[in-house]
Structure 1
Amino acid sequence: MYPPKFGYVIPDSVNEANEFLEKHEDAKALAGGHSLIPMLKLRILRPSYLVELKGLNELHYIRKEDGKIRIGALTTHYEIVKGNLPLLSQAGSTVADPQVRNMGTIGGVISHLDPAADYPASLMAMDAVVKIKGTSGEREEPFKDFAKDMFSPDLNPGEIVKEVIIPEFPGYTFSYKKLERRAGDYAIVGVAVLLKKDSGVIKDVRIGLTAVNNKAVRAYEAEKILLDKSPDEKLIEEAAEKAMGYANPTSDIRGSAEYKKKMTKVMTKRAILEALNR
């Protein structure tokens, strides 16, 4: 199916993009396009204009400063994979195929908020912050609040994602485990684990889940089971069981709700073990 007709706009700056998007509230910002274009072809979306952001170099960077990593919205999955970033590089390596990884962007992913996307589990685990730019200026919002619901980012008319901010997490180990029908597919279940050990004791642990709810969630109660403990098989099993309680999936072509819920426990256990053994 072909998409409906739309205008195509190439702004010279982020400010110009903000102004146009605010004036035309049914316009859509276009970054890599691998999420947006399929929805246009299916006519799920019918924007009056597409606003091309790809040429705006002011949104294209990875910077490390003051213990934080700032990732511009137009940074591609490939660049994130090569950037040696905690957790995100591993998650980025599982996104689709090489062509999509070279075109798709982190800003596009979180502006779209597909509930089965890979990054949100990691962003939840890392307490990521989203910097948003609009005609009235910039604001920062925790990712957990920015991701209001599936396909529903907290963006006002005219606003776009400018950057994603994560801590550097020195001394942490991590894992992103993804259950998929075939390599590069959307997640059936995705689990991100980030932890720090000292003398065999877990001093900090963060667990994020994707594809098992309307949006990514943080398994806080599962984290509490592991915190300040020397992990053993029984403890890890208990934490994975608790994480399963955060899963509220729906049945679809990728599997039944019951299957997805059970696999949340399995993938959580695998992610914890991999993070512990790195």
Structure 2
Amino acid sequence: MLKLRIFRPSYLVEIRRLPELKYIKTEGNVVKIGPVVTHYDIMKANIPLLSETASKIADPQVRNMGTIGGSISHLDPSADYPAALIAMDAKVRIKRTKGERVESFSSFAKDMFTPDLNPGELVAEIEVPLLKDYKVSYQKLERRAGDFAIVGVAVALKVNGDVIQDARIGLTAVNKTAVRASEAEKILLSGKISEKLIEEAATKAMDYANPTSDIRGSAEYKKKMVKVMTKRAILAALNR
């Protein structure tokens, strides 16, 4: 935003060196992440789904410099993290001068480039469940390596034999904000794992896509690719 001169603040405050904002800690089945933790640090932290997502963000230079707090505060509709965070039911702790509040990531992501942050507030922590028993995958369609997603699909599946006990599907880059394909998830829970079941779920995921045409592709193309990438993500997760 600064580079494009959309925002021209009088002052900038550097917060990346504040140790109280840079940590990754596990408490029970929850991982708590400080806002100035870099994509590279998350990539190396072995957090199911989130680490894989971080590994596909941009290029090494951006992964070493960019932070998760910065990414979700910017809230680009084509960013990678939102697909994983909405699928994981992540929570965002927000601090202000007097007190703090906690919001679900789905509530925090109000609109494109519009996080639920008021003047004087900042993201203080991101909290995600530790999906120990889940098979996970983040699949991203991009024009070339390092680009923003054309379509991004995050999948987490809890599998017991030939049935899926819990399914989470998050989509990014196909709407104003990331969306949870809840009806597609229900299809995956409705019977034994099969090619037909996966095909039906991937087709249903298209209902959650309302993309716009741009230099990355037409709206019609992007919507079709939601099915392709959802199927790819489900199969990749099941094969792990």
Give the structure-1-normalised TM-score.
Answer: 0.85
- CA displacement, residues 138-185 of structure 1 (integer Å, 9 cap, x when unaligned): 211100000000100001111100110011122111000000000110
Q: Distance in 2 between matches of 1:163 and 1:270?
A: 31
Q: 4+ residue runs of structure 1 moved beyond 3 angstroms? A: none
Which letter maps to 1:169? Answer: L
Residue aligning to 1:154: 116
Deviation at 1:66, TM superposition (A): 2.2
The residue that corresponds to 1:231 in the other structure is 193
- TM-superposed CA distance for 1:199, in Å, is 1.7
Question: How many residue pairs end up in the alignment?
Answer: 240
Question: Alignment partner for residue 36 of structure 2, among 74, 78, 92?
Answer: 74
Report the secondary structure of 1:161's partner residue: strand
The DSSP-based 3-state class of the residue aligned with 1:192 is strand
**Aligned-residue CA RMSD in angstroms?**
0.8
Q: Which one has a bigger Cα radius of gyration?
A: 1
Q: 1:190 aligns with which of 149, 152, 168?
A: 152
1:242 aligns with 204
State the match for 1:53 in structure 2: 15
Partners of 1:50 and 1:91 lie apart in 2 by 29
- Deviation of the 1:230 alpha carbon: 1.6
Q: 2:179 maps to what in 1?
A: 217
Q: Report matched runs for 1:19-30 at 5 Å.
A: none
Measured in 2, the distance between the counterparts of 1:214 and 1:202 equals 29
8 Å Cα contact 1:203-1:228 kept in structure 2: no
State how far apart, in whole Å, the 1-side matches of 2:4 and 2:136 are: 37
8 Å CA contact 1:94, 1:184 repeated in 2: yes
Alpha-carbon separation, structure 2, partners of 1:206 and 1:92: 18
How far is 1:228 from its partner? 4.8
1:111 aligns with 2:73: yes
Matches within 5 A, 1:82-161: 82-161=44-123
Per-residue CA distance 1:32-86 (angstroms, 9 max, x = gap): xxxxxxx222211111221111111100000001210001101100000000001
Q: Per-residue deviation at 1:190?
A: 0.1
Separation of aligned partners in 1, 2:67 and 2:2: 18
Q: Deviation digits for residues 115-155 of structure 1, max 9, x if unmatched?
A: 00000000000000001111111211100000000100001
Q: What is the DSSP-based 3-state SS (H/G/I as helix, E as strand, rest coil) of the residue aligned with 2:13? A: strand
- What percentage of residue pairs aligned between the two structures are identical? 71
Segments of 5+ residues of structure 2 without an aligned counterpart are: none
State the alpha-carbon separation in 1 of the partners of residues 191 and 167 from structure 2.
11
TM-score (norm 2): 0.98
Q: Does the CA contact (< 8 Å) of 1:96 and 1:183 recur in 2? A: yes
